[in-house]
């Protein structure tokens, strides 16, 4: 038995994270931008890597693109926030299992002038209706991300097709959350964002949260190891180890402990074993 195998075998026996992974020391996580923009990975990954010896490389894109990348076998683990799309990913055999990981919520931010008069509203459909009726500028990611998918669903629930006004009051950036916030603030537009990115965002200027508190703004994140039956090159043992750590009491505590300016950004809700 080689030294590497002996070390791996011993680690597994002792129940250490990452044991039996001596030859799988790095993985790729296809992830939504909000978890990266918020700084969560900068806080969380050094803790996990220090314990497991496994390096986690994050590709931060919109949820739709992250899922496509994983379907192309360009990743070992998926961590995104569009549950219906995640469930389709698993049903198609690309993921082994989807598990709730953590949540926060979406908010709509806008300028101090509040041209649509939505400040303080907690009914998002009514707020979107007012924005549409006022023809007030609204900047959308327009990138098939989890945030964009949620926004599209909310407009539909309100009975509005904002794309009919594309290029007029409805502006699609085709960009990530941070870039869309910068663009929206630059043009004085309302923007829907996840709360974690907003708290971490440094270019708020005169912007503030205008609409929040509607239960439909709930934002659930899930974690899914990529299925080696579809993608033989996937490092399933290391990917599963990271997923298990995220879902463990320790990983859940690390997620809960991450704060910016004293505010908790993500709330762990993995099912208890």
Kindly state whether residue 273 falls inside one of the protein's structural domains.
no
Which pLDDT value is given to residue 34? 86
- What confidence score (pLDDT) does residue 215 get? 97
How many CA atoms does the CB half-sphere of 96 hold within 13 Å? 18
- Residues 26, 125 within the same domain: no
Residue 233 inside a domain? The answer is yes
Q: Are residues 7 and 92 in the same domain?
A: yes
The H-assigned helical ranges of 158-200 are 177-187, 195-200
Does residue 191 form part of some domain? yes
Show the low-confidence residues of the chain (pLDDT under 50).
Answer: 1-23
- CATH number where 232 lies: 3.40.190.10
In a domain, 71, yes or no: yes
Tokens 């009726």 sit on residue:
133
| Count of CB atoms situated within 10 Å of the CB of 4 | 10
* Continuous segment of H or E residues that includes residue 225: strand 218-225
How high is the pLDDT of residue 20? Answer: 46
Range of the domain at 25: 3-103+220-268
Domain total in the chain: 2
- Classify residue 219 as exposed, middle or buried by CB count within 10 Å of its CB (0-12, 13-18, 19+): buried
Are residue 153 and residue 163 in the same domain, yes or no? yes
**Does 92 map to a domain?**
yes
pLDDT of residue 1: 41
pLDDT of residue 162: 97
Examine residue 52 and state whether it is found in any structural domain, yes or no. Answer: yes
Asked if residue 247 and residue 151 are part of one domain, the reply reads no
Q: What is the dihedral of CA 198, 199, 202, 203, to 10 degrees?
A: 40
Asked if residue 42 is part of any domain, the answer here is: yes
* Residue 29 within any structural domain of the chain: yes
Chain segment 175-210, per-residue pLDDT in tens: 989 999 999 999 999 999 999 999 999 999 999 999
Return the pLDDT at 218.
97
């Amino acid at each position: 038995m080689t030294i590497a195998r002996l070390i791996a075998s011993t680690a597994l026996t002792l129940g250490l994270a990452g044991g039996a992974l001596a030859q799988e020391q790095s993985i790729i996580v296809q992830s939504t931008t909000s978890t990266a923009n918020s700084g969560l990975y900068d806080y969380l990954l050094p803790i996990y890597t220090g314990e497991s010896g496994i390096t986690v490389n994050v590709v931060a894109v919109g949820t739709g693109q992250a899922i496509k990348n994983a379907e192309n076998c360009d990743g070992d683990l998926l961590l995104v926030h569009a549950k219906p799309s995640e469930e389709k990913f698993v049903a198609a055999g690309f993921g082994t299992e989807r598990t709730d990981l953590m949540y926060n919520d979406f908010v709509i931010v806008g300028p101090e002038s509040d041209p649509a008069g939505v400040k303080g509203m907690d009914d998002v459909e009514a707020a979107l209706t007012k924005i549409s009726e006022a023809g007030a500028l609204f900047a959308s990611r327009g990138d098939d991300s989890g945030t964009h998918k949620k926004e599209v669903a909310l407009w539909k629930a309100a009975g509005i097709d904002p794309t009919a006004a594309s290029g007029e009051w409805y502006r699609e950036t085709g960009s990530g959350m941070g870039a869309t916030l910068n663009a929206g603030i630059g043009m004085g537009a309302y923007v829907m964002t996840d709360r974690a990115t907003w708290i971490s965002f440094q270019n708020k200027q005169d912007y503030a949260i205008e609409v929040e508190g509607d239960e439909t703004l709930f934002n659930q994140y899930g974690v899914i190891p990529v299925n080696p039956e579809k993608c033989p090159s996937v490092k399933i043992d290391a990917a599963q180890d990271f997923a298990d750590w995220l879902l463990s009491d320790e990983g859940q505590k690390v997620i809960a402990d991450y704060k910016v300016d004293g505010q908790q950004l993500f709330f762990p809700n993995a099912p208890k074993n």
